[in-house]
Structure 1
Amino acid sequence: MQRRTLVGGIAAAAAAAAAAPGTASPRRIGMSDVDRLQKRFAEIIASDHRHGGQLGIEQRAAALADEALNLQNAGSASQRVRSSLYASAAAFRSSAMWAAIDGRRYDIAKAHMREAQALAEMSGDQAIKFRIWSHAGTMYRHMGRPADAFAANDVARNLHLTRRDPLFSSLGLARQGAIHGAAQDRTGTRRAFEQAQEAMLRADPADYRPVWMLAFYDQAELDSLALSAHLALGDYSTAEYHAHRCLSALRPHMVRSRAITTTRLAHAQLAQGAPEAATATAMKVPAEAATQHARVTRMLQEFGAALRATAPGSTTVQTWTEHTASWRMAA
């Protein structure tokens, strides 16, 4: 009911504004306007992969969603253009949602999610619907609500897009595997990642896919999700294996992902009784990510607590303490 109300409100506002009297003839809104928005969306994606979780990214994405929606009221347009504008608005709002998730601002993320879902319904765009529901599954996984995570991710996985494009199927399965890991289901985790890998191998690289998909989902991301799952399961040697695979394949622009993967690798090494190696790994995380990315900051705080419990009073703990002090001074 809430989503239907929101969809109706957005549509009513657009219709009212379009009907308002004016002194000049309305201009024609075309695909060139959509293309301009797509360039701005690519900039948001690039900023997210570099910095991740920042409030500024969330705010810029939300403002661009409003800009795309306002274009609906700025003049006449074909149905194709109007659908594309709604898809652009949904894409920007989904990026605002993701930035809030990445920054652990979950209540705000849920508000962005509701608006993104309404806009995506009006656009009819399967890919953006997939992105929003898949993000929702990730959000609930981070919140420790696996049942809700499964339900949201299943909405994404049941879209007909996943039957048409094996790469979308692969991403849905890999995120399902991460949820199985959080739910402590070893069999489900193994099966999901086997299927995700098989689907990725079937995907045709030449097929058209949206910029957000091309920018992040590849073998490195699949291994990153497997790393998260096996870390949650306590299978630390397998987690370390996937961490090394991920780090070796990450593209240069995936700065945020590299920081997260490096931090998870440090956790896996520490849990296997290698505090010196783990500390050396954790010290490779850049100061910017360590101090300004909420997820990385929390994971490093947890790493420090585990290190002190594992090797209290050791020179390794002293080294880590001095290193984190230098981060605070640089922040």
Structure 2
Amino acid sequence: MLRRNFLAASAAAALPPNRAFRGHAVGHSDVDRLKESLRTLTTLDDHRGGHGSLETAALTGARQALGKVDTTISESVQRRLYSLAADYTATAGFSCIDDRRLDDAERHFETALRLAGLGDDHVTALRVFNCLSMVGYQRNRPSITLSAARAAQDARAARRDPLLASLAHARAAIAHSTTGDRQTALRCLGHACDALGRADGRERPTWTDFYGPAELFALSAVVHQHLADSPESESASHRALAGIPPQFRRNRASATARLALAQLGQGELEQATATVAGVYDLMGTDPLPPRLRTLLGDFHRGLITLATTSAVTREWTDRVHAQGENQ
């Protein structure tokens, strides 16, 4: 209960009080303050992963932004407010993906896409399509996964920014790998690598901070896992973990779980269980996001399938039970 209250307070504290905007027409400086609060929520998500308090805080930020639209006559400020509301709402949706509440995620993304249109925000529109592809992946719906990934590839933001194009190509690679289309999946990974090599240091929204060469390796590991290339998946996971910054704790934990799955796929049971234990070490006393728990469930089922009665399996099962009791 104390941890839950602390997380709720941390997320809520990221938002400025409404009184900061009372009594004057809203301008760009007010939008900047709300935008800085979004950065704080993004940092919390990177560290802790998605949870209900973060979703609530993000939706509160969106309401604050929309509540200021009618207090300004500046068209540019109104567009920025709609754009910011879209970004906040997409953040809420992404938190729901991590929390495995996919119906809620889809509802938030529908709203975010509408707000992005009002704000002429093509970057957030691409983010929504990228996230909807993730939702399709979590639902095991290959057609939705691929359609949303293609929409991200075709988005105007992808044509204008090589880094965003790279992310869209990587997401498409995952979509194609889930259908077993090896050639297209690897071709999309090649496009993602080429585009990332052309990326510059322009200013971008905070949600893009996670993406770079290390994260592309992490996504490549997913592709190779689906294509049954366990050695390639292991190599990509090692390179991801060598480069993902410490502040992206949730992403490091996910890459660690993928590394363990790749080692398990090669029959390296003791090494795999030693690796996957690092997920708990990384996340510390915080509850594991359900999306991460799903990966650990995949590992557990794979381990039991390979070695049902082995000592390694018994020890790992005991640790999982003990960990569950402590959270």
TM-score, structure 1 normalization? 0.88
Give the conservation status (yes or no) of the 8 Å contact 2:264–2:272: yes
Q: Which runs of 5+ in 1 are unaligned?
A: 1-24
| Distance in 2 separating the partners of 1:31 and 1:105 | 34
Q: Which runs of at least 4 in structure 1 moved beyond 3 Å after TM superposition?
A: 287-291
Match of 1:36 in 2: 33
CA positional deviation for 1:77? 3.3
| Distance in 2 separating the partners of 1:124 and 1:274 | 50
Pick from 271, 278, 285 the counterpart of residue 265 of structure 2: 271
CA positional deviation for 1:93? 0.2
Match of 1:138 in 2: 134
Q: 1:146 to 1:181 in 2, by over 3 A?
A: same
Q: How does 1:87-126 map to 2 (within 5 A)?
A: 87-126=83-122
Instruction: Say whether residues 1:208 and 2:203 are aligned partners.
Output: yes
| Distance in 2 separating the partners of 1:144 and 1:57 | 26
| Distance in 1 separating the partners of 2:47 and 2:316 | 25
| Distance in 2 separating the partners of 1:145 and 1:329 | 33
Is 276-285 or 318-327 further displaced after alignment?
318-327
TM-score, structure 2 normalization? 0.89
Q: In structure 1, give the amino acid aligned to 2:54.
A: I
Give the conservation status (yes or no) of the 8 Å contact 1:94–1:112: yes
Give the conservation status (yes or no) of the 8 Å contact 2:126–2:152: yes
Match of 2:81 in 1: 85
Q: How does 1:20-59 map to 2 (within 5 A)?
A: 27-59=24-56
Match of 1:177 in 2: 173
| Distance in 1 separating the partners of 2:279 and 2:239 | 17
Q: What is the aligned length?
A: 304
- Structure whose CA Rg is larger: 1
Q: Which runs of 5+ in 2 are unaligned?
A: 1-21
Give the conservation status (yes or no) of the 8 Å contact 1:189–1:229: yes
| Distance in 2 separating the partners of 1:275 and 1:300 | 14
What secondary structure, in the 3-state scheme, does the structure 1 residue paired with 2:49 have? coil
CA positional deviation for 1:291? 4.4
Q: CA RMSD in A?
A: 1.6
| Distance in 2 separating the partners of 1:26 and 1:259 | 46
Match of 2:234 in 1: 240
Give the conservation status (yes or no) of the 8 Å contact 1:291–1:297: no
Pick from 146, 153, 160 the counterpart of residue 157 of structure 1: 153
Match of 2:319 in 1: 323
Is 313-322 or 230-239 further displaced after alignment?
313-322
Is 304-313 or 181-190 further displaced after alignment?
304-313
Q: In structure 2, give the amino acid aligned to 1:29.
A: V
